[in-house]
Amino acid sequence: MAEASDHRAFEAHHARFQRYSGGDPLAPPVDIAEALDKIGEQVMAGYSAERAMREYLRRGGEGRVGLDDLGRRVSERRRELLQRHKLDGTMQEIKELLDRAVLEERKQLVRDVDMDELDRSFAETRLENLPASTSAAVNELSDYQWRSSQARSDYEKIKDLLGRELLDQRFGGMKQALENVTDVDREAVAEMLRDLNDLLEKHARGEDTPEDFDDFMAKHGGFFPEGPQNVDELIDTLAKRSAAAQRMLNSMTEEQRQELFELSAQAFGSPELMQQLGRLDQSLQALRPGEDWSGSESFDGDQPLGLGEGAGVLQDLADLDELAEQLSQSYDGARMDDVDLDKLAKQLGEQAAVDAHTLRELEKALRRDGTLRRDSTGRLQLTPKAMRQLGTTLLKDIAKRMSARQGQRELRQAGAAGDLSGATRAWEFGDTEPWDIPKTVLNGIRRRAGSPAQPGARLIGIDDIEVSETEARTQAAVALLADTSFSMEIDGRWVPMKRTALALHTLIKSRFRGDDLQLIGFGRHAEVMDIEELTALEASWAKGTNLHHALLLANRHFRKHPNAQPVLLIVTDGEPTSHLEADGEVRFSYPPHPVTIAYTVRELENSMRLGAQITFFRLGDDPSLARFVDNMAKRVEGKVVAPENDDLGAAVVGSYLGSRSWPSGGGDDWSGWGGRGFWAD
Find the helix or strand (DSSP H, E) in which 204 lies: helix 183-204
DSSP 3-state of 317 = helix
Single pTM value for the model:
0.59
Q: Strands 586-588 and 613-618: what pairing?
A: unpaired
Comparing C-alpha atoms, which of 503, 652, 660 is closest to residue 572?
Answer: 652
Q: Which residues of the chain have pLDDT under 70?
A: 1-31, 42-49, 177, 268-269, 368-381, 383-386, 388-391, 394-395, 397, 399-422, 428-433, 450-457, 470-474, 659-681
**Could you read off the pLDDT of 199-210 as tens digits, one per residue?**
999 999 999 999
Asked whether 359 and 66 are in contact (CB, 8 A), the reply is: yes
Beta-carbon count within 10 A of 655 CB: 25
DSSP codes, 650-662 = HHHHHHHHTTTSP
230: Cβ contacts below 8 Å, ≥ 6 apart? 210, 213
pLDDT value of position 103: 93
pLDDT value of position 671: 44
Q: How many residues belong to the chain?
A: 681
Comparing C-alpha atoms, which of 129, 121, 182, 136 is closest to residue 156?
Answer: 182
Q: Measured between alpha carbons, how far is 486 from 656 in angstroms, rounded to an integer?
A: 26
Asked whether 545 and 553 are in contact (CB, 8 A), the reply is: no
Q: Measured between alpha carbons, how far is 525 from 539 in angstroms, rounded to an integer?
A: 14
Q: Strands 613-618 and 85-86: what pairing?
A: unpaired
pLDDT value of position 182: 81
Comparing C-alpha atoms, which of 583, 578, 570, 575 is closest to residue 595?
Answer: 578
pLDDT value of position 2: 44
Asked whether 109 and 115 are in contact (CB, 8 A), the reply is: yes
pLDDT value of position 15: 40
DSSP 3-state of 629 = helix
Comparing C-alpha atoms, which of 606, 609, 605, 673 is closest to residue 641?
Answer: 673
Contacts of residues 577-581 at CB distance under 8 Å and 24 or more positions apart, as own/partner, are 577/543, 577/544, 577/545, 577/546, 578/524, 578/525, 578/543, 578/544, 578/545, 578/546, 578/548, 578/549, 579/546, 579/548, 579/549, 580/525, 580/546, 580/548, 580/549, 580/552
